[in-house]
Amino acid sequence: MEWVFCFFIVKAIFRVIAFLLLLVTFHSCGTQKNLSNTNFQVLTYAGSALGIRIEEHDNHALFLEAATWLGTPYLVGGATRSGVDCSGLTMTIYARIYNKQLHRRSVEQYEKDAQLKGRRQLQQGDLVFFRTANSGEQCGHVGIFLKDDKFIHAGSRGVVVESLESSYWQQFWLAGGCVR
């Protein structure tokens, strides 16, 4: 009789433990859902700000970081959210997202940091290089490719996202490149 009583006690304790484990699991799932919803909302906002649709397989860290730079004023030699130039933007984003150190000037990023490729081979996070009216055939401007022919860069209007399809950027296109 004692043995049967102990069996029922152990069985009851097991059920209580199983119930508590299920409770914790469901609570964790609820927390995870809220976290996922928060991440989804933040990504949706970032995508809207950048003018792109962010999908599951995209480079979320890049897009979230890029969105935080939008509207930062242009400042020659700048590399902070108080003011940034084109190479300062690429240098800072690459350090934060990829833990890679780029050279400071766009021409050095073009010549020393990038393995060059054509426009059709661009992938998210690749650098995009342009000539400018003042640079002649040399690289005078750099940005970061996002997706769908959109790139982020710091120009005279501050940090903005523009299309590689625009006639302005097509006339100054030099190359794209992944960082070595």
- Residues annotated as catalytic are 86, 141, 153
Provide the token pair at 9: 């006690």
- DSSP output for 143-173: EEEEETTEEEEEETTEEEEEETTSHHHHHHE
Provide the token pair at 107: 């021409």
CA dihedral 105, 107, 112, 118 (to 10 degrees): 130
Would you call 99 exposed, middle or buried from its count of C-beta atoms within 10 A (0-12, 13-18, 19+)? exposed
Distance CA 143, CA 47 (A): 18
Helices (H), the chain: 2-50, 60-69, 86-98, 106-108, 167-172
